Structure 1
Amino acid sequence: MEPNVRFWITERQSFIQRFVQWTELLDPTNLVVSIEKIEKSRQLLLTNEDAFIHDLEDRRVQEAWKRSLSTVHPDNSKLIPVPFRPAALLPFTAPMIFLSMLSVKSLKSLILPQVSFYTYTTAFNIVNGNASYNRRPHESLLLGTGVIASSSFFGLLPHLLQMRLNNMLLKKALPIIILTHISAMNVVAARSLEPIRGIEVMDKEGNVMGYSRKAGTKAVKDTAMSRIVLFGTSAFIPEVFSHFFVRTQFFRQYPWSLWTFKLSCTVLVMGLMVPVSFSMYPQIERIQCDKLEKEIQSATEETELFYNRGV
């Protein structure tokens, strides 16, 4: 069985335990770890399947799990490209969200941040989604291109409306609402093949019982919900804090400090919300057999099966 799958199935973690686990997996050093070290870690975990899952107090084993879980896709055992590893989400998207939320007079200055943000998140969703179903490279490319174009278009709409609105509250709230909804729809669209073709469901030993469209639908839905929490909160809280900051004496003396304050606030909030959003649901989720297709139910006597939700 793939070590990462074995880990998430064996470790029945609570939300707090998952949160602590993700704070370690989101360590920026996981972006620069060498392929040689990753391969050595994987070899260590593959040597004795039963021993090392329970030997988490061993520092060497802890580092091996950290490198494996943060750099290797659980479905295909392939290395995740460095820019799309979970630890890269914060440094890539935080500046883009900050620029996307700025109030500007020219729409041209917003096109690049919007396109960059949705290009990155679309690629991140496809790379870190479930990879157990059959898909051709050109399908992912065409799908990703369409998702990027539509997400960027709808992402610019609130800024077009801002120029025609006089209600200050609505002008501030509209971009946040649109960003939150589009981020969720981006997940649904980028991973739309999973509910259509179905994803692998397996027993606790890792034996594949079949492909389930219902499991694929649930995986996409749960991940979309986590993005709503992540990007919605990361956009909302800095706006609220900035609203009160501009009323302080410090801002009156140093008007330029608003940008620094808002960027710092965005990074801090996202730094907390990334592990929170990733911890909302288990990486390898459980699903009751009676909620799956009948052909899968007839193929096993297990009461529950497992599938990779994706990140």
Structure 2
Amino acid sequence: MASTNEETNPCGSCKLNVDIDKPRWDQSTFTGRLRHFCSITDPRKALVSESKLENAKNTVLAYRAGNCIGDTTKDQLWNAKQLYDSAFHPDSGERMTLLGRMSFQVPGGMAITGLMLQFYKTPVQVALMQWANQSFNALVNYTNRNAASQTSSKQMLFAYASATTTALGVAVSLNHFSRKARPVVARWVPFAAVALGNAVNIPLSRQSELKDGVIITDADGNVLGKSKKCAQIGISQVVFSRVLMAAPGMICLPLIMERLIKKQWFRSRTWLHLPFQTTAVGVFLLFMVPLGCAVFPQRASMAVQDLEADVRMSINKEHGGSIQTVYFNKGL
């Protein structure tokens, strides 16, 4: 009977033999990271109820503790883990606000980007759209920050104000100068503002990491200290990824709109312009959000020899040169 129970009741790590503390797919390859982030950024996960999220969390925590998880199969366990990853912060384990989750990037991004691409002609429209976009970006940046590095409310407010001011200044200025250029140039103004806004917003939102460093660990997760260089690398990768996510939709759609606007049937149906652009942006983001996240590993690494001198010396003194690579969470 004992043997039968073991076969029909696969509970605990000894039965399922799954390491859920690592992603399901190999994160050293782009394909593996893409599959991982497709599961996390799936917009359908933004619609999952709180009770299902809690059930997923309980399943993950129970499995980690080695407790029985009933008749849960490997696929069910992985589904619970992916749902857990989509809604709970990887550092703190706290449930993230819905609007800041990566699973909300497609619906949230398509709505705001669609509005930016539609309302770009007057300074007031540009200002309002950039304010809305930077507000959304600030929330996403804060939600997906490296939670091991504390950022005060004052610092976050300064980052938000600085990024919004930068984006507004760039957008309004370019909007003014683009009036003498080809019509499509004015349609590209929102992207320029978004790119520069991200370049300001993300570093300032995570300025504590740049100032104090980000926690670095060995391959087994043992904390080795903090590194400012790792923080710089991680934040620069996040900036690049965010701009990459937005680029195809905000660069290609203006070209498409300029071609369509020349057709009488489309030009006369002005009510169709906003939903068309919003839907098209959503299609772009559906592919670009996981792709942008997958460009760089979330668990980033750096050779010990490339760290700051004091951090490198501390690690070598403590571990006798046995550690060659350190790891850190770059955030999203």
TM-score by length of 1: 0.85
Q: Alignment partner for residue 138 of structure 2, among 109, 122, 134?
A: 122
- Of 12-21 and 63-72, more deviation after overlay is shown by 12-21
Distance 1:89 1:109 in 2: 23
Structure 2 counterpart of 1:304: 325
Distance 1:267 1:98 in 2: 9
Distance change (3 Å), C-alpha of 1:280 and 1:51:
farther
Distance 2:40 2:24 in 1: 17
Q: Alignment partner for residue 297 of structure 2, among 270, 282, 285?
A: 282
Secondary structure at the residue paired with 2:210? helix
- How far did 1:48 drift? 4.5
Q: Specify every segment of 5 or more residues in structure 2 that has no aligned partner in the other structure, as ranges.
A: 1-17
Distance change (3 Å), C-alpha of 1:63 and 1:199:
same
Distance change (3 Å), C-alpha of 1:302 and 1:182:
same
Q: Which amino acid aligns with 2:330?
A: R
- How far did 1:108 drift? 2.0
Q: Which amino acid aligns with 1:195?
A: L
Matches within 5 A, 1:100-119: 100-102=116-118, 104-119=120-135
Structure 2 counterpart of 1:24: 39
Q: Specify every segment of 5 or more residues in structure 1 that has no aligned partner in the other structure, as ranges.
A: none
Structure 2 counterpart of 1:293: 308
Once the two structures are superposed, residues 164-192 of structure 1 have per-residue CA deviations (whole angstroms, 9 ceiling, x without a partner) of: x2444543444433433333332223223
Structure 1 counterpart of 2:3: none
Distance 1:129 1:210 in 2: 18
Secondary structure at the residue paired with 1:206? coil
Structure 1 counterpart of 2:110: 94
- How far did 1:43 drift? 3.6
Secondary structure at the residue paired with 1:77? coil
- Of 167-176 and 192-201, more deviation after overlay is shown by 167-176
Distance 1:182 1:151 in 2: 5
- How far did 1:49 drift? 4.3
Distance change (3 Å), C-alpha of 1:187 and 1:136:
closer
Distance change (3 Å), C-alpha of 1:247 and 1:135:
closer
Is the radius of gyration larger for structure 1 or structure 2? 2
- How far did 1:115 drift? 0.7
Distance change (3 Å), C-alpha of 1:116 and 1:193:
same
- How far did 1:61 drift? 0.6
Distance 1:178 1:79 in 2: 31
Secondary structure at the residue paired with 2:147? coil
1:74 to 2:90 alignment: yes
Structure 1 counterpart of 2:6: none
Q: Which amino acid aligns with 1:63?
A: N
- How far did 1:79 drift? 1.3
| Contact 1:289 1:305 survives alignment (8 Å) | yes
1:267 to 2:282 alignment: yes
Q: Alignment partner for residue 201 of structure 2, among 175, 186, 189?
A: 186
| Contact 2:166 2:196 survives alignment (8 Å) | no
1:197 to 2:212 alignment: yes
Distance change (3 Å), C-alpha of 1:87 and 1:287:
same
Structure 2 counterpart of 1:133: 149
Q: Which amino acid aligns with 2:236?
A: K
Distance change (3 Å), C-alpha of 1:139 and 1:184:
closer
| Contact 1:246 1:258 survives alignment (8 Å) | no
Once the two structures are superposed, residues 110-136 of structure 1 have per-residue CA deviations (whole angstroms, 9 ceiling, x without a partner) of: 332221111110121122121212333
Q: Alignment partner for residue 242 of structure 2, among 217, 222, 227?
A: 227
Distance change (3 Å), C-alpha of 1:255 and 1:60:
closer
| Contact 2:184 2:255 survives alignment (8 Å) | no
CA RMSD of aligned residues (A): 3.0
Distance 2:294 2:60 in 1: 23
Distance change (3 Å), C-alpha of 1:160 and 1:57:
farther
| Contact 1:8 1:283 survives alignment (8 Å) | no
Once the two structures are superposed, residues 198-225 of structure 1 have per-residue CA deviations (whole angstroms, 9 ceiling, x without a partner) of: 0101112211110110110000000011
| Contact 1:4 1:68 survives alignment (8 Å) | no
